[in-house]
Every structure is written in C-alpha cells, then in structure tokens.
Amino acid sequence: MTDTPRRVYADKQLPQVHGAMAAVSNEIKARADDLGIDRAILELVNLRCSQINGCAFCLHLHTHLALRAGESPQRIAVLSAWRESGLFSRVEQAALTIAESVTKVSERHLADNEYDRLREDLTDDQLALLVYAASMINAFNRVSILSHHPVSHREHFGAPVKRSNHAS
C-alpha cells in the first residue's frame, strides 16, 4: 500500500504552468533592474504580501532573498508595521502601499488622491511593474498555501535551526 500525499503540489503537478509563472517573475526582475527598482524593494513587496496572506513558505524564501539583496534584519522584523517604523523611504512606502493594495484588493481600493501620491514617487512604468510584482507573489502565495509547501527546519540563511521541546 502506498501513501498518497494529503495535498497536491500544484507546481509539481503542472510544471509547465509553474514554469510560465516563474518566467513572468523573472521578467519582472529584469524590468525592475531596467527601471531602477532595487531588488531589495521587490523582496519587501514579496515579504509584505506573504505576511498578509500568511504564506510561511514564501516568507521563509523571501526573507532569505531580501537578506541576500542587502535588506537589514531590523527592517524585515518591523515590516508589518512599516508605516509606524520611520525606516522606509518614500519609494519603499509607495511600493509597500501597492503591495497591500493588490493583496487586499477586495477590501479596499486606492482613492484617486492616494494613487496620485504614488505617482509622485514612482514613474508610471515603476508603478505598473510593482502592481505586477505584487500580483505575482500573491499568485505564488496561493499556490504554496493550498499546496501546503513545507518550511524546512534548516534555514537557508545559515546554520540549522536549533529546536527546543518547549515554547518560548
């Protein structure tokens, strides 16, 4: 008798579709470089969307990628309270506003004056690209959450995690 997995890993089940999603993600990264959007900003967008959606797999992965892109542990730690932290530039704030607006699109739409403020700090191409970036990570979040992709106990950032038998 073979054990059937509880969940279908959608990315493994239809690798061609996942590959197409990855190709779009790679195109976003390439255009970001062309448009002067730092890789760390893209990772902040990925992290913020993943926080809102509660995607543990993507939070783990994009924390590693953000650190590799030069993001600080302090800013990652306070990302969910970015408005209150005073640690993020106007461009980063605009990117995070887009991330939250795309992720919570069913809850609240940006008012015209809020949208106009984004255009003060971003070119139209940058704004459009960040909408695509937030849309793609939201798609990846949904695939990972519904597939229940595991977070390994070994960190990508360095040494394996030491696990205790009690909560701290």
CATH number of the domain encompassing residue 143: 1.20.1290.10
Q: Note whether residue 164 is domain-resident.
A: no
Distance, CA of 30 to CA of 24 (rounded, Å) = 10
**Whole-prediction pTM:** 0.88
What pLDDT, in 10s, does the model give residues 92-129?
999 999 999 999 999 989 999 999 999 999 999 999 99
Q: What is the pLDDT of residue 162?
A: 43
pLDDT bucket at 25, cuts 50 / 70 / 90: very high
What pLDDT, in 10s, does the model give residues 39-70?
999 999 999 999 999 999 999 999 999 999 99
Q: Note whether residue 143 is domain-resident.
A: yes
Instruction: Give the burial class of 166: count Cβ atoms within 10 A of its Cβ; 0-12 exposed, 13-18 middle, 19 or more buried.
Output: exposed
Q: Note whether residue 94 is domain-resident.
A: yes
Q: Note whether residue 104 is domain-resident.
A: yes
Show the domain range for 82: 12-147
Q: Note whether residue 168 is domain-resident.
A: no
Q: Note whether residue 91 is domain-resident.
A: yes
Q: What angle is formed at CA 38 by the lines to CA 126 and CA 97, rounded to 5 degrees?
A: 55
Number of domains in the chain: 1
Is the model's pLDDT at 161 over the cut of 70? no
Q: Note whether residue 7 is domain-resident.
A: no
